[in-house]
Structure 1
Amino acid sequence: MHDVFLTGREPEKRTERNVAPVGIGRSAQERRRRAAENPWPPRWIRWLPPALIGVSMFLDQVTPPYYFFGTLLTASVVLAVLAYTPLGVACTGAAGCLVLALTEAVKDNVGPLTVTTLIVLAVITVLSVALCALRFRIEKRFRRVQTVAEVVQLALLRPLPAQVGPVRMAGFYRAADDEALIGGDLYSVRRTPFGIRVIVGDVRGKGIDTTQTLTTVLSTFREAALLQPTLPQLADRIDTALKLDRDNSDLYPAISGGPPVSASPNGPEDAVTPEDELFVTAILLEFPSHSHEVRILDRGHQPLLLVGSGGTTFVETENSLPLGMGDLLVEQPRTTTRAVRPGDTLIAYSDGVTEARDRAGAFYPLRARLQAHCAGSPQPCFPDEVIDFLQRDLARWAPALTDDVVAIALQPVPPAPDV
């Protein structure tokens, strides 16, 4: 393991593990896996229509002639709509009609009731075939819309690579809305001339309604991170973009999630109420390419955690106002520079992690749980190991998460020595 930190290379046995998608890519992969493991409709439903036809035939044979079980055949056709194709539904209805006619003929009990039941069964079969065809059309359209939505969401919050430049990373993301891949939390990693830059943030509000603000922050960060020489200047650029969104909320009311802002004679700033404010708590990180340190700018976000040989500690930074409130700042926020030793892992996360509650209402003790997990290991924890533990442990602590959750683990890799 010491060779890892001397050479900057991991053992070969970790290669396959590192190519798995992380961040929102991991969420998308897990959702596909759950859908494959729990298909709808369940596979056992496919056996119900023939089972009902068999039961109807059996009961009709072992009971006296005045008992009639032909109505079970109607139920078999209705269930076939959920389990089969339109052709399968038609075959089920035809089989039901044939079984009913044969069993009643064998019992020499063909009468008005049998004829009426056959007519009703035939009509229900025709209607069920049409309904099944409509179901297939709706499902096809839904899958197309779901695929487009997933592509758009993956374009906003792109899957994290296992390593960018000299920084290993891993993360997981879970939206409060189970039907969505993204919510109000955000992250992004960018290779820039100034080093590897990272943002992890939390938009005011939660769920899919925050997508427009999330889009503004991410698109601005990805552009400005390449151009702005310092983290405070980068944050200023995001502040300006959010202010423009806020000032234009009367033209695009969905941006603020509320009603249009009424005009004010004193300017648009006076028309904005606290309910209409757009802000994002965020932490910005910069890992210089050839330096054993990290620069941190905290804009009202959760404190950064450092997991290393000295235990699990919070990184002290100068906390400032969230992004989007830059016009209220009295002075420019200052960047904190922190030395990073080989094996140290930095963890940025949202309040969805620390505010997750168990059944008794207790908050998730992030620092204590990570401390207990990493203290028992004689070797430094890699980012993917920390994230795997955190994801499993958080799910055990709070099975039902009510807020968006993001956690990103980052570990600088010492440069390989010159040979």
Structure 2
Amino acid sequence: MAVTAIADIAAGPTVGLLPLVALGPAFAGLTGGPRRTALIGGLALVLCLALGWYDGLFPGRRGTTALVSVAGVTAAGLVAAVMRRRREAELASVRSIAEVAQRVLLRPVPRTAGGLSAAVSYTAAVAEARIGGDLYEVVTSPGGVRVIVGDVQGKGLDAVETAADVLGAFREAAHDEPDLTGVSTRLERAMNRALCGERFVTAVIAEIREDRTVAMLNYGHPSPLMIHADGTARFLAPKTRAMPLGLGIHGAQSPETLSTAFHPGDQLLLYTDGVTEARDGRGEFYPLDSRLHLLNADSPELALDALHSDIVAHAGGPLGDDAAMLLLRYRA
């Protein structure tokens, strides 16, 4: 508005710069609130009147047209500011509900469980949603520490609803069943009832036992990564992969139980395909097995923070898919 006034005085009334004063309330309506927009609009009207009298445009058609233009833009800016404030309030309410839903659905994992330290990292593909189709849980039961990491096929509210069904069934079965096979059987039955059509859930169910071993069942999910205290690492891949949960194929075999030692100082990383399928600008997948040095941080939380930052840097921006990581560290 100041630039317009200076240019109008310097150029004279013949150029016709007076209507540009309306840019002030126009931008105020886009960036400020209703009160600020009204203040800028009033200032614009006063400035338009002053410049119009200075240029000798009042009374006259040009001066009146400029004044009406400024008043109209001010009114439109006020309407835009009010509507934007309402949308911002609605968005804030939706975000708060999403945060509550996340705390209920994806509860914070315990920092310690038995002899383990645990940490989780979760990033939804739609950042405003806060939650997506990936899931995780850590339950301390009489049989040991039982965990699940899974990925629901699809996105949106249907995926969130399915994730809630999976977690509800797992939390109940993890406390009630004496062994891991019973947990998986209960989970399969629940998913066959809840899911229909071609919807399914890939998941890894693991149990860390007191005899310093870990047993796991893999339902078509990416293989967990075991990092030993001496720095060596290997993917815990079963010989044959089982079908994902919820496909409901009659007579399909359950996954074989994969058992391995889990000693103090070792780490177990469970993750979803949003981690390993993150692509860079050249279309190359994220090389998880070459980033193991990032997990040598003092705490599991810092280790996952470093790994997550490296994944985002590899992708060059927000991830295109939900990504969940659960790190279990056997305390020395």
TM, length-normalised to structure 1:
0.72
Which residue identity lines up with residue 232 of structure 2 in the other structure?
Answer: G
Which residue is equivalent to 1:110? 58
Task: From 79, 82, 96, give the equivalent of 2:44.
Answer: 96
Which residue is equivalent to 1:7? none
> Following TM superposition, by how much is the alpha carbon of 1:317 offset from its aligned partner in structure 2, in angstroms?
3.7
Task: From 175, 179, 191, give the equivalent of 2:124.
Answer: 175
Q: 5+ unaligned residues in a row in structure 1: which ranges?
A: 1-52, 250-275, 415-419
Q: Are residue 364 (structure 1) and residue 286 (structure 2) matched?
A: yes
Which residue is equivalent to 1:287? 208
Which residue is equivalent to 1:61? 9
Query: Cα gap change, 1:196/1:75 in structure 2, threshold over 3 Å: closer, same or farther?
Result: same
Separation in 1, partners of 2:123, 2:117 = 21
Q: Are residue 311 (structure 1) and residue 259 (structure 2) matched?
A: no
> Following TM superposition, by how much is the alpha carbon of 1:57 offset from its aligned partner in structure 2, in angstroms?
1.4
Separation in 1, partners of 2:154, 2:188 = 18
Which residue identity lines up with residue 190 of structure 2 in the other structure?
Answer: A
Q: Are residue 153 (structure 1) and residue 75 (structure 2) matched?
A: no
Q: Are residue 320 (structure 1) and residue 267 (structure 2) matched?
A: no
Which residue is equivalent to 1:78? 26
Q: Are residue 235 (structure 1) and residue 152 (structure 2) matched?
A: no
Which residue is equivalent to 1:402? 320
Query: Cα gap change, 1:233/1:325 in structure 2, threshold over 3 Å: closer, same or farther?
Result: farther
Separation in 1, partners of 2:184, 2:137 = 14
Mapping for residues 2-401 of structure 1, pairs under 5 Å: 53-112=1-60, 113-246=62-195, 249=196, 276-288=197-209, 290-308=210-228, 309-317=230-238, 319-325=241-247, 328-329=250-251, 331-370=253-292, 373=294, 382-400=299-317, 401=319
Query: Cα gap change, 1:110/1:100 in structure 2, threshold over 3 Å: closer, same or farther?
Result: same
Give the SS at the match of 1:367.
helix
Bigger Cα displacement from structure 2, 78-87 vs 100-109: 100-109
Query: Cα gap change, 1:409/1:229 in structure 2, threshold over 3 Å: closer, same or farther?
Result: same
CA contact (8 A) 1:170 1:387 kept: yes
1:308-342 superposed Cα distances (whole Å, 9 cap, x missing partner): 21511122545433222465445554433322122
Bigger Cα displacement from structure 2, 87-96 vs 65-74: 65-74
Which residue identity lines up with residue 77 of structure 1 in the other structure?
Answer: P
Bigger Cα displacement from structure 2, 59-68 vs 344-353: 59-68
Query: Cα gap change, 1:382/1:311 in structure 2, threshold over 3 Å: closer, same or farther?
Result: farther
> Following TM superposition, by how much is the alpha carbon of 1:343 offset from its aligned partner in structure 2, in angstroms?
0.9
Separation in 1, partners of 2:285, 2:66 = 61
Separation in 2, partners of 1:336, 1:156 = 28
Query: Cα gap change, 1:121/1:322 in structure 2, threshold over 3 Å: closer, same or farther?
Result: same
> Following TM superposition, by how much is the alpha carbon of 1:191 offset from its aligned partner in structure 2, in angstroms?
1.9
1:23-45 superposed Cα distances (whole Å, 9 cap, x missing partner): xxxxxxxxxxxxxxxxxxxxxxx
Separation in 2, partners of 1:277, 1:65 = 71
> Following TM superposition, by how much is the alpha carbon of 1:344 offset from its aligned partner in structure 2, in angstroms?
0.4
1:114-165 superposed Cα distances (whole Å, 9 cap, x missing partner): 1232233223323432332222122212211221123213321123343233
Separation in 2, partners of 1:218, 1:286 = 16
Which residue identity lines up with residue 217 of structure 1 in the other structure?
Answer: V
> Following TM superposition, by how much is the alpha carbon of 1:220 offset from its aligned partner in structure 2, in angstroms?
0.8
Aligned residues: 328
Query: Cα gap change, 1:122/1:357 in structure 2, threshold over 3 Å: closer, same or farther?
Result: closer
Separation in 1, partners of 2:253, 2:42 = 80
Query: Cα gap change, 1:310/1:102 in structure 2, threshold over 3 Å: closer, same or farther?
Result: closer
> Following TM superposition, by how much is the alpha carbon of 1:97 offset from its aligned partner in structure 2, in angstroms?
1.2
CA contact (8 A) 1:207 1:404 kept: no
CA contact (8 A) 1:163 1:169 kept: yes
Separation in 2, partners of 1:398, 1:369 = 14
Separation in 2, partners of 1:59, 1:384 = 58
Query: Cα gap change, 1:300/1:328 in structure 2, threshold over 3 Å: closer, same or farther?
Result: farther
Query: Cα gap change, 1:227/1:209 in structure 2, threshold over 3 Å: closer, same or farther?
Result: same
Which residue is equivalent to 1:49? none
Separation in 2, partners of 1:242, 1:295 = 22
- Percentage of matched positions with identical amino acids: 35
Q: 5+ unaligned residues in a row in structure 2: which ranges?
A: none
> Following TM superposition, by how much is the alpha carbon of 1:355 offset from its aligned partner in structure 2, in angstroms?
1.9
> Following TM superposition, by how much is the alpha carbon of 1:110 offset from its aligned partner in structure 2, in angstroms?
2.5
Separation in 2, partners of 1:202, 1:120 = 56
Separation in 2, partners of 1:385, 1:80 = 43
